[in-house]
Chain A
Amino acid sequence: MKIRQTTCNAVRIVLALLLFTAALPPVVHAEMSHKEVLAKADRARGNADGVEWEIDISSVEGGRQQQRLLRVGARHYNSLAEFLAPANVKGQKLLMIDRNMWFVKPGLSKAVPISPRQKLIGGAANGDIASTNYAGDYNVAEASADAVDGAACYLFDLRAVDKKATYDRIRYWISKEKLTGVKAEFYTVSGKLFKTAVFEYGNTVTIDERPQPFISKMTITSAVIKEDVTVMNYSKASLKTIPDSTFNLNLLVH
């Protein structure tokens, strides 16, 4: 009788353990710190050593459409964007070296310094074309669980480490299964939501000889005017070391 009861308890414990384990995300994810989860998500949106890609940006602002095609080389906080289309902006360049920014127009040999507030186009900030380094730029102030379109997600409340970051505060949803950012809300210094973004990962890159999902689309919607939408399509992405000389003003204009 005692043996039967013991066996019964053991079965219950095993079943309970199995159920508990099934409810948890994969072990490797469960062991990750918040920063590690962020870093994994960053890998699908850029690379610390460098990324080169083309970004097709189309925006609707106040009912008016605008489109730009850019070739971007980015590394850490630096990026160089060259406008490829349409024809009347072809050859324009935007150089960002940390928080220093210059704009170059064909026909003008002198680069014009511009402030970070001068956004790129539509709802896209200059920081959106560069590779993402949320793990380095932000602290996780609060973490919770949520779901986006039925998929379980980590929900991180990110606060900028310093002024280097493009945004002061971000609420960031990261898929627990794929470890990719799927949605973000961006807030002003005063705490006001000013835009949201959703991400798609139709591209693939090889990292450590393994194919990894890579960002293919970012859709930004204004929180103030819902009809103002900016879509950034990423293509021809390649991860590679981009040298310092790419971001050098002395070599940029000719």
Chain B
Amino acid sequence: MRQGGRTSRLEGGHPSGSEWRHPSEGEKAPGASPHLFVHLAVLFLAACLIWLPKAGAAGVEPEEQPAQATGRLTDYLTVDLRLIAFGVCQQPVESTQNPSNNFLKIPLYVGDMEARPDLRLSAGPLELGAKPRMRLDDSVWEEGSLTGRSHGDSDFYLNEYIARLKVREGLFVSYGRENLQWGPSFLFSPSNPFFQDNGRRNPYLEVPGMDFGRVVWVASAALTFSFIANTTEGLNRTTGPGAFLSSVPPPPFEPTYTVKADYTGRDKYASLILSHRKDGEGLAGFYGGWTVADAILLYGEGSVSQGSRGLYPEGDRFSPFGATMAPLHTHDPALYPALLAGGAYTLESKGTFSVEYAYYGPGYGPSDAETYYGLRRKAAEAFDAPGMISGLAQETLGETAITDLRFLRRNYALIQYSQPSIRNRIDLTFRWTQNLDDGSGQFTALAAYELGKHVELFSVATAAAGGKNTEFGSILGYEIMAGLQYTF
């Protein structure tokens, strides 16, 4: 669970607007209207039709064509369709971040239905892919000012798409909306300059895609070089600290350019990432792993960034709360490291224990944390006060909720046990995440039950431990998500 985020989605059912939205609400994109989708779908189909008669022409080696190709679209196009329906029951915590649930307005129940078709077309050197999504959801409030109310919504958007051309053997050029993730870790992926959410917390919620142009050069079996340009934010919309106030526009998106070098050896792999954001922020990252033995994996991941985009509390004698939140280290020449070390051991029974420790340099130290919680408490006390101070309190709580930091503090640990394929049907994962600085923790249990060849029942349950003024104890006491997935 993170306290703030660059995107509008906060993990663990965290708020994402002046009114709480669905956990996967961040995927919504006002810009990705049905009109845009239709436009892209037409382009996709047009490309299919134009390309098909020429498949097998220059640059296409016969061996790369599907066996017994007949020239029909079905030889090249694959469509996978999943329907997913789930319900969420969650208990908001009475805390200084969300007094009486009147600030975050978290619903007690959420229902959701989604259609997730994945389309892929592969014709010689050209690959096209699209992941349109359709969703219906409904929320019911039982606490706070919205008690007794419900709200339904529908959405239609293109979460991912890609066009990739194999220019020559080992050289690929692509453009599209992707969820571009890498690295071996569960807690977070500090070497990824694009996404704060690595999608590991809840595998049934999709991470919104961003738009990338990529050139990938597979120099050899061991070495690969990539140039990646993050051109627009796509559906992973920048919200920034003003997300809770409609009057505050989000900060402008800044393109990021990244060079990535990957090495894969006999039992080790390593990657180096150098990234530059157009507004000047730089990041150097790495990750690597080692298959020590048949049952043992060791891995690490990290980054060093110059400055921090996050909001930090500082004493302010002019503020009625005695402090304010401000981007104190945006142009700070100081280097902020984020490091993660982990390992996994697989038992003979195929169950796997994983352990991770993470140091998050941009997080708050003890002094900052004390100022932060003091500020939050005073803002919460003024939340229902008459006059302008209430507005200031809302603005402050918006800033304390979305600090633009991946974690609030600095030291974290994770321990996880996964047991796949119990009786050939059940997958179980139990995970404990611990904030080593404030003592709060989060327990997550994931269960999937294979019911026949098409249906999977699943649940993701999360419970927080720790005081109400701790990182994991501030928003939700528990969250239970249960549903089914039908794959055609």
Contacts and interface: CB of A to CB of B under 8 A. Distances in A.
Interface of A: 61-62, 64-66, 78, 85-88, 90-91, 97-101, 105-110, 112-119, 163-164, 236, 238, 240-241, 243-245, 247-251, 253-254
A90 B487 contact: yes
Interface string B130-173: 00000000000000000000000000000010101010011010
B289 A105 contact: no
Contacts of A65: 424
B67 interface: yes
Given A100-B269, A105-B203, A87 B289 contact: no
Interface string B92-125: 0000000000000000000000001010000000
Interface stretch (B25-33, B260-268, B469-477): B260-268
Nearest to A64: B424
B296 interface: yes
Contacts of A90: 80, 487
Nearest to B456: A88
Contact of B294 (A88, A100, A115): A115
Contacts of A244: 170, 218, 220-221
A101 B224 CA distance: 17
A238 B68 CA distance: 12
A62 to B, nearest CB: 7
Interface string B285-327: 0000101011111010000000000000000000000000000
B456 A78 contact: no
B221 A119 contact: no
A251 B127 CA distance: 11
A106 B184 CA distance: 17
B455 interface: yes
Given A97-B269, A100-B268, 10 more contacts: A88-B452, A90-B80, A100-B269, A107-B116, A108-B203, A109-B180, A163-B267, A236-B67, A254-B129, A254-B178
Given A107-B82, A107-B204, A238 B216 contact: no
B231 interface: no
Contacts of A85: 453
B408 interface: no
B299 A247 contact: no
A94 to B, nearest CB: 13
B262 A249 contact: yes
Contacts of B82: 106-107
Interface residues of B, number: 71
A108 B199 contact: yes
Contacts of A113: 184, 289, 297, 299, 344
B390 interface: no
Contacts of B178: 109, 254
Nearest to B448: A88
Given A97-B264, A115-B297, A88 B346 contact: no
Given A113-B297, A115-B291, A117-B350, A250 B226 contact: yes
A247 B170 CA distance: 11
- Among B63, B164, B183: residue with most chain A CB under 10 A: B63
B415 interface: no
A150 B262 CA distance: 52
Nearest to A109: B179
Nearest to A253: B181
Interface of B: 63, 67, 80, 82, 116, 118, 127, 129, 160, 162, 164, 166, 169-170, 172, 176, 178-184, 189, 198-200, 203-204, 206-207, 216, 218, 220-221, 224, 226, 260, 262, 264-269, 289, 291, 293-297, 299, 344, 346, 348, 350, 352, 420, 423-425, 450, 452-456, 485, 487-488
B80 A91 contact: yes
Given A109-B180, A245-B218, A254 B267 contact: no
A115 to B, nearest CB: 5
Nearest to B174: A254
Most buried by B among A78, A99, A112: A99
Given A87-B488, A115-B344, A236-B67, A254 B164 contact: yes
Contacts of B423: 62, 64
18 contacts: A64-B424, A88-B454, A90-B487, A99-B267, A100-B267, A100-B268, A100-B269, A109-B180, A112-B184, A113-B297, A116-B294, A117-B348, A118-B350, A118-B420, A163-B293, A164-B266, A241-B63, A250-B260
A105 B262 CA distance: 22
A62 B424 CA distance: 10
Contacts of A241: 63
B352 A118 contact: yes
A110 B200 contact: yes
Given A115-B294, A118-B346, A248-B224, A109 B207 contact: yes
Given A106-B80, A115-B344, A243 B265 contact: no
A61 B204 contact: no
A116 B291 contact: yes
Nearest to B162: A254
A240 B294 CA distance: 30
B206 A107 contact: yes
Contacts of B487: 87-88, 90
A58 B346 CA distance: 24
A172 B198 CA distance: 45
A65 B450 CA distance: 13
Nearest to B351: A118
A64 B454 CA distance: 18
A240 B179 CA distance: 32
Contacts of B224: 248, 250
Nearest to B267: A99
